[in-house]
């Protein structure tokens, strides 16, 4: 190639796969409970197409009560950790997420919890 006057063209192609996460179950409905009693559910987070280790964070919804005060009746725990770990075959570990709700005031609502990685995806 160095001294050869012929030109060579190299064409590269590839597919970009954006990281995403799936959930099992895909939505969550917590059971009604008496005031100040905790209810909880377990969700499995299934990472897909991650190319490097990452960590999952959760943005919990804040609710405004009729008296104007704001509260977040949810808590989230990751009993086995929040880290997405890649294995040698390119797959990722599943994460267990325990979501709890407790309120001293009656409420009913529909809100989203935002699960994001270190790059805010």
The mean predicted confidence, pLDDT, of the chain is 87
What mean pLDDT do residues 47-69 have?
A: 88
Is 69 inside a domain boundary?
yes
Is 63 inside a domain boundary?
yes
* Predicted pLDDT of residue 2: 65
What mean pLDDT do residues 6-35 have?
A: 85
Provide the pLDDT confidence category of residue 18 given band limits of 50, 70 and 90. confident
Provide the pLDDT confidence category of residue 16 given band limits of 50, 70 and 90. confident
Is 92 inside a domain boundary?
yes
What mean pLDDT do residues 52-64 have?
A: 90
What's the total number of domains in the chain? 1
Residue 88 backbone zone (phi > 0: left; psi -120 to 50: alpha; other: beta): alpha
Is 57 inside a domain boundary?
yes
CB 62 within 8 A of CB 32: no
Is 11 inside a domain boundary?
no
Is 15 inside a domain boundary?
no
User: Residue 103 sits in which domain range?
Assistant: 20-116
Is 56 inside a domain boundary?
yes
> CA 94 to CA 80: how far, in whole Å?
10
Is 68 inside a domain boundary?
yes
């Amino acid at each position: 190639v160095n001294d050869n006057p012929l030109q060579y063209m190299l064409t590269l192609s590839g597919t970009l796969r954006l990281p995403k996460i799936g959930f099992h179950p895909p939505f969550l409905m917590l059971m009604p409970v008496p005031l100040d009693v905790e209810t909880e559910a377990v969700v499995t987070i299934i990472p897909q197409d991650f190319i490097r280790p990452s960590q999952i964070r959760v943005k919990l919804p804040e609710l405004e009560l009729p008296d104007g005060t704001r509260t977040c009746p949810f808590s989230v725990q990751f009993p086995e950790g929040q880290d997405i770990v890649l294995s040698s075959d390119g797959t990722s570990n599943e994460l267990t997420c325990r979501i709890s709700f407790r309120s001293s005031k009656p409420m009913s609502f529909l809100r989203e919890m935002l699960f994001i990685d270190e790059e805010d995806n």
